[in-house]
């Protein structure tokens, strides 16, 4: 390890190994780098055993990266060190000591799906109406309680008397009992139980405290109470605790992260040193300036200096898109051009957005242009559960013999038709030589089963029958909209009213947008063609993916990472800042910190975009430009070249423009006699640009400007009267 690769302040932070230390510094100032060098320094210079070091990161990805960085510095010498996320560290402790707190050593970890099943069981046993108090609500509250380290009893003391929370207490109690009976822990339990082991067993605690001579924590601003307590327990032996963080990057307030952990560090760990790093090594001057200008609008913050020696760099490229598709193509087009020009890899690029639902349009554009991409920490849009559920319905309407789809769809929303009933119906179908669907139709007519099940079957069959014929002639977007409204899936999700269920609803609505978009380029606009394209799409998906992929992710998952070129899309009021944050100053400040995180991921180039019209969740809306764009001084913004080019043309004198236009018109003669036949969605062929689809049409009669997304030439805005266009039938 070469300590001279660090600046003076960073060196300080590395060699000050003894006692509590808080490194408080802005983005890209080398906090994570200091942590890795500190580990290397401890092992190499101070001859500390790797097994005496504990390093905690926020995500598995971060842990992996840190391990690679340390290995680069000192090679295999790092083996034996404890390095991982809070959860993985706790599992390690519990695998040894769970038996001391009433679990078997081979306890199982319940993931969110298991949690859901368990919570449901509890609600049922307690006779709580799931429609009024949903399992998601209850699980959310239980997790909140656990993050605050409240047992069911303590929770009860705090909240008794509240109608809903009283129910939560009951469920929490039973849920916890069941977990223990099943020898299982949920994610939150991992931390709580590790703490319990330490709290109740002095010997074990002191063993760990003696073992972990040096403790390091990255992204400390995002720790919650339970995590804080754990860190405290583990580090109190030698109190050589080094935490790094940035209050401006605290973005998990909504999940119980407590910024007080940073604020109170000096109080909690007397004698603590604070080191501030002020030089940013990651970003160009322009990018850093933009970030600083945005974050300074937060009132509740201590201002801090952050400067860089890096080049001025390009201005922030700012594109005002006309639609979300235009935006997506802008991203892909610029990415391809930049990649060619600068011989880069796909991995040098990241596209960041506020919510997962925004990925769909981007995914389509990447797929169409054949650029390989990966979604980080999310499921590709068409692989999402709710989308598959909904598509199952559409498949059955198209093809009622599709047994797999029936099995998937029939109990969504819940109709009391579980796998056992399905087996029974299947048996009946087999005996009578019917398809599963025919058996269902028969069962619905003859009331073959119990009242509840018959009702469910009837509901299901009625929907399929109702739309079977429609599918042959109605446009798929209308058809899908009606089916979605009819099946009651949205209502079921609405009752949950959680972050997750809301995002599922958003995704379902987004599917209608996808159908509308499909219609624009499709021949028939009918369900059969839609499903065909849909299945082909997922085929291609699998082939395309390789290791050199552009990363698409939410701003939250981008924390701690860096990329030469970053695209941030959807900078609109109501999207980012999100509509949910708009009524509370504090939430807007958290959104602004997220914007700061986003901007500071970029090293060389940053593109930001917003769209004046956006179809999302099946609705089209005009959103205002995000306040965050307005907070970037205009001299730092640059409008991309093709926009500038078209602006320049606009500026040339009217007559010369007209002459040029006329000459062009003469030369190329528009093939379209009657321009009124051109509409959004019309497929056209342009002499020079080739095949494309009209996405918007603006302006007075006779002077319309038409915007066309071309298959290979990107998006162009053209004068309809003179463009050499042909309609493709």
Q: Which residues are annotated as a binding site?
A: 25-32
> Closer to ligand ATP at the Cβ: 29 or 322?
29
Contacting residue, 20, 313, 400, 560, with ligand ATP by CB under 6 A: 560
Based on the number of CB atoms within 10 Å of its own CB, is 130 exposed (0-12), middle (13-18) or buried (19 or more)? middle
**Backbone conformation region of residue 335, classed left if phi is above 0, alpha if psi is from -120 to 50, else beta:** alpha
**Starting from the edge strand earliest in sequence, which strands make up the sheet with 214-217, in order?**
82-85, 53-57, 214-217, 241-245, 21-25, 273-277
Residue nearest to ligand ATP (CB): 30
**Segment near ligand ATP (CB under 6 A); pick from 4-12, 141-149, 234-242, 426-434:** 4-12
Could you tell me which of 580, 448, 445, 438 has the C-alpha nearest to residue 503? 580
> Closer to ligand ATP at the Cβ: 27 or 463?
27
Is 282 a binding residue for ligand ATP by CB under 6 A? The answer is: yes
**Smallest gap from residue 608 Cβ to Mg ion (A):** 22
6 contact choice in Mg ion, ligand ATP, none (CB below 5 to 8 Å, kind-dependent): ligand ATP
**Smallest gap from residue 559 Cβ to ligand ATP (A):** 7
**Smallest gap from residue 217 Cβ to ligand ATP (A):** 12
User: How far apart (Å, rounded) are the C-alpha atoms in residues 694 and 511?
Assistant: 21
> Closer to Mg ion at the Cβ: 142 or 216?
216
246 contact choice in ligand ATP, Mg ion, none (CB below 5 to 8 Å, kind-dependent): ligand ATP
Within residues 665-724, the interface with ligand ATP by CB under 6 A covers none
**Smallest gap from residue 561 Cβ to ligand ATP (A):** 8
Q: Which two tokens stand for residue 556?
A: 């939250």
**Smallest gap from residue 23 Cβ to Mg ion (A):** 10
Q: Could you tell me the CA-to-CA distances from 172 to 135, 175, 176, 232, 331 in Å, in that order? A: 11, 5, 6, 27, 46
Residue 304, helix vs strand vs coil: coil
> Closer to Mg ion at the Cβ: 145 or 217?
217
298 contact choice in Mg ion, ligand ATP, none (CB below 5 to 8 Å, kind-dependent): none
Q: Label residues 610-632 b or e (16+ Cβ within 10 Å = b).
A: bbbebbbbbeeeebeebbbbeeb
Positive or negative: CA dihedral 169, 171, 177, 179:
negative
Place of tokens 């239980």: 142
User: How far apart (Å, rounded) are the C-alpha atoms in residues 251 and 472?
Assistant: 48
Q: How many residues of this chain bind ligand ATP (CB under 6 A)? A: 19
> Closer to ligand ATP at the Cβ: 352 or 526?
352
**Smallest gap from residue 39 Cβ to ligand ATP (A):** 13
**Smallest gap from residue 32 Cβ to Mg ion (A):** 3
577 contact choice in ligand ATP, Mg ion, none (CB below 5 to 8 Å, kind-dependent): none
519 contact choice in ligand ATP, Mg ion, none (CB below 5 to 8 Å, kind-dependent): none
Place of tokens 């093809």: 399
Q: Which residues bind Mg ion (CB under 5 A)?
A: 31-32, 560
In the chain, count of helices (H) and strands (E)? Answer: 30, 24
Could you tell me which of 519, 598, 587 has the C-alpha nearest to residue 559? 598
Concatenated DSSP letters of 544-589: H--SS-EEEEETGGGTT--EEEEEE---BTBTTTBGGGTT-HHHHH
* Strand 21-25 to 273-277 pairing: parallel
> Closer to Mg ion at the Cβ: 25 or 331?
25
Could you tell me which of 83, 106, 79 has the C-alpha nearest to residue 94? 106
Q: Compose the 15-54 pattern: x for residues touching ligand ATP by CB under 6 A, - for all others.
A: ----------x-xxxxxxx---------------------
What's the number of CA atoms in the CB half-sphere (13 Å) around residue 354? 26
Check: CB of residue 475 under 8 Å from CB of residue 523.
Answer: no
Residue 639, helix vs strand vs coil: coil
User: How far apart (Å, rounded) are the C-alpha atoms in residues 44 and 209?
Assistant: 22
Within residues 570-629, the interface with ligand ATP by CB under 6 A covers 600
**Smallest gap from residue 243 Cβ to ligand ATP (A):** 12
> Closer to ligand ATP at the Cβ: 282 or 610?
282
281 contact choice in Mg ion, ligand ATP, none (CB below 5 to 8 Å, kind-dependent): ligand ATP
> Closer to ligand ATP at the Cβ: 62 or 234?
62
Within residues 197-256, the interface with ligand ATP by CB under 6 A covers 246, 249
30 contact choice in Mg ion, ligand ATP, none (CB below 5 to 8 Å, kind-dependent): ligand ATP
Contacting residue, 1, 6, 335, 569, with ligand ATP by CB under 6 A: 6
Asked if the peptide bond before residue 413 counts as cis, ω within 30 degrees of 0, the response is: yes
Q: What is the CA radius of gyration of the chain?
A: 29
27 contact choice in ligand ATP, Mg ion, none (CB below 5 to 8 Å, kind-dependent): ligand ATP
> Closer to Mg ion at the Cβ: 405 or 557?
557
Q: Which residues are catalytic?
A: 31-32, 218-219, 249, 601
Place of tokens 């509890």: 122
User: How far apart (Å, rounded) are the C-alpha atoms in residues 716 and 617?
Assistant: 26
Within residues 57-116, the interface with ligand ATP by CB under 6 A covers none
Q: Which two tokens stand for residue 498?
A: 């959680």
**Smallest gap from residue 244 Cβ to Mg ion (A):** 7
Is 7 a binding residue for ligand ATP by CB under 6 A? The answer is: yes
Write down the H helix ranges in 251-384: 260-263, 265-268, 285-295, 324-342, 359-368
Check: CB of residue 651 under 8 Å from CB of residue 360.
Answer: no
Check: CB of residue 498 under 8 Å from CB of residue 254.
Answer: no
Which residues are documented as binding site for ATP?
Answer: 25-32
Within residues 384-413, the interface with ligand ATP by CB under 6 A covers none
Contacting residue, 1, 9, 10, 172, with ligand ATP by CB under 6 A: 10
Cα 194–chain centre separation: 29
238 contact choice in Mg ion, ligand ATP, none (CB below 5 to 8 Å, kind-dependent): none
692 contact choice in Mg ion, ligand ATP, none (CB below 5 to 8 Å, kind-dependent): none
> Closer to Mg ion at the Cβ: 245 or 456?
245
Residue nearest to Mg ion (CB): 32
Q: Three-state secondary structure along 517-535?
A: HHHHHCCCCCHHHHHHHHH
Is 487 a binding residue for ligand ATP by CB under 6 A? The answer is: no
Q: If you count them, how many residues does the chain have?
A: 729
**Smallest gap from residue 13 Cβ to Mg ion (A):** 13
Q: Compose the 501-540 pattern: x for residues touching ligand ATP by CB under 6 A, - for all others.
A: ----------------------------------------
Q: Footprint of ligand ATP on this chain (CB under 6 A)?
A: 5-7, 10, 25, 27-33, 246, 249, 281-282, 560, 562, 600
């Amino acid at each position: 390890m070469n300590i001279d690769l660090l600046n003076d302040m960073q060196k300080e932070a590395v060699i000050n190994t003894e006692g509590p230390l808080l490194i408080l510094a802005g983005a890209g100032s080398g906090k994570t780098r200091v942590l890795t060098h500190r580990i290397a320094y401890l092992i190499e210079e101070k001859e500390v055993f790797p097994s005496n070091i504990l390093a905690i990161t926020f995500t598995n990805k971060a842990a992996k990266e840190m391990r690679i960085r340390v290995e680069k510095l000192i090679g295999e010498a790092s083996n034996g060190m404890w390095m991982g996320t809070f959860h993985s560290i706790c599992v390690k402790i519990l695998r040894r000591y769970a038996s001391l707190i009433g679990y078997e050593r081979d306890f199982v970890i319940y993931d969110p799906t298991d949690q859901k099943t368990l919570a449901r069981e509890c609600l049922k046993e307690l006779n709580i109406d799931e429609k009024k108090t949903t399992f998601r609500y209850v699980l959310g509250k239980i997790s909140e309680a656990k993050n605050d380290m409240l047992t069911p009893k303590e929770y009860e003391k705090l909240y008794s008397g509240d109608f809903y929370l009283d129910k939560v207490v009951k469920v929490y109690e039973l849920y916890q009992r069941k977990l223990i009976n099943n020898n299982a822990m949920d994610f939150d339990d991992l931390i709580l139980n590790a703490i319990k082991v330490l709290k109740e067993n002095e010997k074990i605690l002191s063993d760990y405290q003696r073992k972990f001579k040096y403790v390091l924590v990255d992204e400390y601003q995002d720790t919650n109470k339970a995590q804080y307590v754990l860190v405290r327990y583990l580090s109190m032996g030698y109190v050589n605790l080094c935490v790094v963080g940035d209050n401006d990057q605290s973005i998990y307030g909504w999940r119980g992260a407590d910024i007080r952990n940073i604020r109170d560090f000096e109080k909690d760990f007397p004698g603590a040193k604070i080191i501030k790093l002020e030089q940013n090594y990651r970003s160009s001057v322009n990018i850093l300036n933009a970030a600083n200008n945005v974050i300074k609008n937060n009132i509740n913050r201590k201002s801090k200096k952050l400067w860089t020696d890096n080049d001025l760099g390009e201005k922030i490229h700012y594109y005002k898109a006309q639609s979300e598709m235009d935006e997506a193509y802008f991203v892909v087009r610029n990415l391809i051009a930049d990649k060619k020009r600068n011989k880069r890899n796909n991995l040098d690029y990241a596209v960041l957005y506020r919510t997962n639902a925004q990925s769909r349009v981007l995914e389509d554009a990447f797929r169409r242009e054949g650029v390989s991409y990966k979604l980080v920490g999310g499921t590709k849009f068409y692989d999402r559960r709710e989308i598959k559920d909904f598509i199952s319905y559409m498949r059955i309407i198209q093809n009622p013999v599709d047994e797999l789809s029936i099995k998937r769809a029939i109990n969504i929303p819940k109709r009391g038709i579980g796998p056992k009933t399905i087996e029974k119906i299947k048996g009946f179908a087999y005996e009578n030589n019917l398809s599963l669907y025919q058996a269902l139709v028969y069962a619905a007519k003859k009331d073959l089963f119990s009242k509840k099940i018959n009702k469910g079957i009837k509901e299901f069959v009625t929907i399929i029958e109702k739309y079977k014929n429609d599918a042959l002639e109605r446009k798929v977007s209308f058809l899908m909209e009606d089916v979605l409204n009819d099946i009651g899936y949205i209502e079921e999700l609405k009752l949950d009213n959680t972050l997750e269920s809301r995002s599922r609803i958003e995704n379902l609505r987004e599917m209608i947008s996808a159908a509308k978009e499909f219609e624009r380029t499709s021949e028939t606009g009918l369900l059969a063609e839609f499903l065909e394209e849909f299945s082909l799409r997922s085929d291609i998906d699998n082939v395309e993916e390789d290791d050199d992929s552009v990363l698409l992710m939410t701003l939250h998952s981008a924390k701690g990472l860096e990329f030469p070129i970053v695209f941030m899309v959807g900078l609109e009021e109501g999207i980012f800042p999100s509509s949910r944050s708009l009524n509370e100053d504090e939430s807007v400040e958290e959104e602004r910190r997220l914007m700061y995180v986003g901007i500071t991921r970029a090293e060389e180039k940053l593109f930001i975009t917003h769209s004046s019209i956006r179809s999302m969740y099946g609705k089209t809306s005009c959103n205002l430009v995000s306040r965050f764009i307005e907070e970037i001084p205009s001299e730092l913004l640059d409008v991309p070249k093709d926009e500038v080019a078209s602006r320049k043309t606009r500026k040339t004198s009217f007559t010369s423009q007209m002459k040029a236009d006329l000459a062009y018109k003469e030369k190329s003669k528009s093939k379209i006699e009657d321009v009124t036949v051109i509409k959004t969605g019309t497929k056209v062929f342009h002499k020079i640009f080739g095949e494309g689809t009209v996405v918007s049409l603006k302006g007075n009669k006779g002077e319309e400007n038409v915007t066309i997304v071309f298959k290979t030439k990107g998006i162009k805005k053209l004068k309809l009267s003179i463009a050499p266009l042909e309609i493709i039938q």
